[in-house]
Amino acid sequence: MGARPEPVCETMDDGRPGRERPASVAPPEGFAADANATDALRGEFADWPDCWAAAGDLLDWESAYDDVLDADGERATWFAGGRLNAAANCVDRHVEAGRKNRAAIKWEGKRGETRTYTYQDLHREVNAFAAALRELGVEEDDVVTLYLPMVPELPIAMLACARIGAVHSVVFAGFSKDALATRLEQTGSSLLVTCDGYYRRGTAYDLKSKADNAALAVPQSVQQVVVDRLGNGRALDGDHAYDRLVDEHAGADVEPVPRDAEDALFVIHTSGTTGEPTAVRHATGGYLAHVAWTSETVLDLSHEDTHWCSADVGWITGHSYIVYGPLALGATTVMYEGAPDHPERNRIWEIVERNAVDVFYTAPTAIHSFMKWGAEYPEKHDLSSLRLLGTVGEPIDETAWWWYYEHIGRGECPIVDTWWQTETGGILLSTLPGVDEMRPGAAGPPIPGVEADVVGARGDPVDPGESGMLAVTRPWPGMADSLRENATREGWAYDTGDTATVDDAGYIRLLGRRGDLLNVAGRRLGTAEVESAIVGVEGVAEAAVVGGSGEAGTSLYAYVSPRKNVSATDPLRERVRDAVADAIGRFAAPDVVVFTPDLPKTRSGKLMRRYLERITNGDDIEDTSALRNPEIVGELESIVEDVS
Ligand code: WTA
């Protein structure tokens, strides 16, 4: 077991470590006594795949499944033969268990504006909207697109779809009209639930015109349901008003449709290695079992807890750990609209205090902002309700880890650094809080029931300390549909696309994405989709984007070479940023645009992104012999030094 941390020291306030820190930290004693995960869990789960029955047991099944995992055919099938409804599991059963007055969703809108939905309220709303969806012609297996910001209508609509066996496709509200149109077209969805606009930093943003333009751009005809968020009663030519639909169907009782465990619960798009977004499909049984079980054992939730995952529901993190995981367990889930520092930097800690949040789950990027703003903000608030802290989305460096541990967790809350992906559905690597020691900077070992290795080019495990690719070597229940093919074969492994090292205790430390995917501020972007938007700008010849890591976390750098006779000007720089905002969304616009006469390339003309990454991060490049144009490296190094 690791050494116990020393008390908070003054010099931590600026985020810089004041002294040597232990490499491993024992679970805080107070936590272990009541933790959901126990030491025995590491041992019990040796019995794969039957160990996953414990996850299946967390759910109510309409008909029992035959096998935990059926791996006899071509496809891995989880909980085959079982039938269940996700909305019944996330709502009805808690009402029936006598917890109808317990808060299900606590929503924090603009400052001071809050709404609480008890499980009874949620039941009523979900039923009414499910009935409305039916009336609009939505049938089982139809895809309903939800283009909504962080308003309670979003989880309500997700659960209403689940209730009638429709498949939701949530599109993050920060996506542009083009990105929405691509997603609508890919799924063939003909019902779009959206809203007039939303607030961020006190400003109202228009969402409806993006929805309208996207709906016009796709071949199918698209009906729209519009939530009135801004309250300005904008005219609804031919669209359906959400509130009116819900009023009309008030008191409806829609029987939850039993779904096969393998039937789709939702699709979600993610950046792939090609220019096009990839639709990832998650099955009802395995996914729900996986997120419920990891919410219980890794996030330590029960129906007595209030959980706050500060992600957006539009990403997988929000699907799994704002909506499905916590609600499956009957916990209270907090969701907030807006930004962490608006109207002021107290907002996050005010929300924790007001809601007596037990478990707080956020991204390292956010922790970096909190550190930059300073410890005086959390110090002004009573954060003693916090019992456990979590991170997700990107590696957390040791400095940020210790800051989080000491300033937010008072040295009493374990931190779970959870590694997973859109494709994995839920958490795969993490320490078990209260059971495993923590090693700051390392996500941890695979959770019980998961097997993973860091492997070299030939697929053999690397030695401790050496870097390789992270591969998951056995199927898990939350695996995306596309990964199930062939997951029955001996020697099957899922290549996660992440590079990592493993230490002698089996703790995995993530180094970053390999190849064509970037992780910028905890968000996943494909280099191809960003670059294709940039080269579409008039006057741009070539472009390459890479992630750079600075004190404020990761940012997106675009290296752009203008065409002959086109000058590198600020207006061109703006056009580059706008083009990405139009194609994907403002959140994906490069933080830094570096103009360059040329990009580093091999003699065969292959772009060497690796060199750009090193240049961006200020790392030395010793050997440029592979390049056709080695002189560009020095030139770029000095340009980047000037801009950063
Ligand atoms: C990265 C988000 C280091 C990783 C849930 C992964 C992490 C990608 C961690 C998936 C972590 C996620 N430590 N890196 N704890 N968690 N990642 O699909 O590169 O948006 O492949 O899912 O985020 O991003 P996605």
Contact 415, 389 (CB under 8 A): yes
pLDDT at 200 over 80: no
pLDDT tens-digit series, residues 335-355: 999 889 988 999 999 999 999
The stretch 178-190 carries a mean pLDDT of 97
Q: Specify the residue with its C-alpha closest to ligand 1, atom 5.
A: 421
- Which residues have CB under 8 Å from 92's CB, separation 6+? 123, 256
Tokens of 565: 């006779």
The DSSP line for 314-350 is TSHHHIIIIIIHHHHTT-EEEEE-S-TTSS-TTHHHH
Q: Which atom of ligand 1 is nearest to the CA of 418?
A: 15
Residues paired with 307 in a beta bridge: 333, 359
The predicted structure's pLDDT at residue 162: 99
The predicted structure's pLDDT at residue 116: 98
Q: What 8-state DSSP symbol labels residue 634?
A: H
ipTM of the complex: 1.00
pLDDT tens-digit series, residues 519-561: 887 788 899 999 999 999 999 999 999 988 766 667 899 999 9
The angle formed by the CA atoms of residues 423, 226 and 84, to the nearest 5 degrees, is 45
Kindly tell me the burial class for residue 621, based on how many C-beta atoms sit within 10 Å of its own C-beta (0-12, 13-18, 19 or more): middle
Answer whether 395 contacts ligand 1 (Cβ < 6 A).
yes
Closest CA to 514 of 558, 460, 471, 451: 471
Q: Cα–Cα distance between 188 and 168 in angstroms, integer? A: 12
Q: What element of type H or E holds 495?
A: strand 494-502
Q: Which atom of ligand 1 is nearest to the CA of 496?
A: 21
The predicted structure's pLDDT at residue 54: 95
Answer whether 316 contacts ligand 1 (Cβ < 6 A).
yes
Q: Specify the residue with its C-alpha closest to ligand 1, atom 12.
A: 393
Q: Cα–Cα distance between 457 and 470 in angstroms, integer? A: 11
Q: Residue written as tokens 């047991």?
A: 57
Q: What 8-state DSSP symbol labels residue 489?
A: S
The stretch 101-108 carries a mean pLDDT of 98
Question: pTM of this prediction?
Answer: 0.93
Answer whether 500 contacts ligand 1 (Cβ < 6 A).
no
% residues pLDDT > 70 (the chain): 95
Q: What 8-state DSSP symbol labels residue 419?
A: B
Q: Specify the residue with its C-alpha closest to ligand 1, atom 6.
A: 421
CA of 496 to the centre of ligand 1 (A): 10
The predicted structure's pLDDT at residue 488: 93
Higher pLDDT pick, 601 / 273: 601
Q: Cα–Cα distance between 623 and 325 in angstroms, integer? A: 49
Q: Cα–Cα distance between 393 and 309 in angstroms, integer? A: 12
Tokens of 508: 């995995």
Answer whether 525 contacts ligand 1 (Cβ < 6 A).
no
CA of 428 to the centre of ligand 1 (A): 11
Q: Residue written as tokens 């496709």?
A: 169
Residues paired with 167 in a beta bridge: 143
% residues pLDDT > 90 (the chain): 80
Pocket test for ligand 1, best of 290, 322, 391, 419 (most atoms within 8 A of CB): 419
CA of 364 to the centre of ligand 1 (A): 11
Higher pLDDT pick, 534 / 639: 534
pLDDT at 14 over 90: no
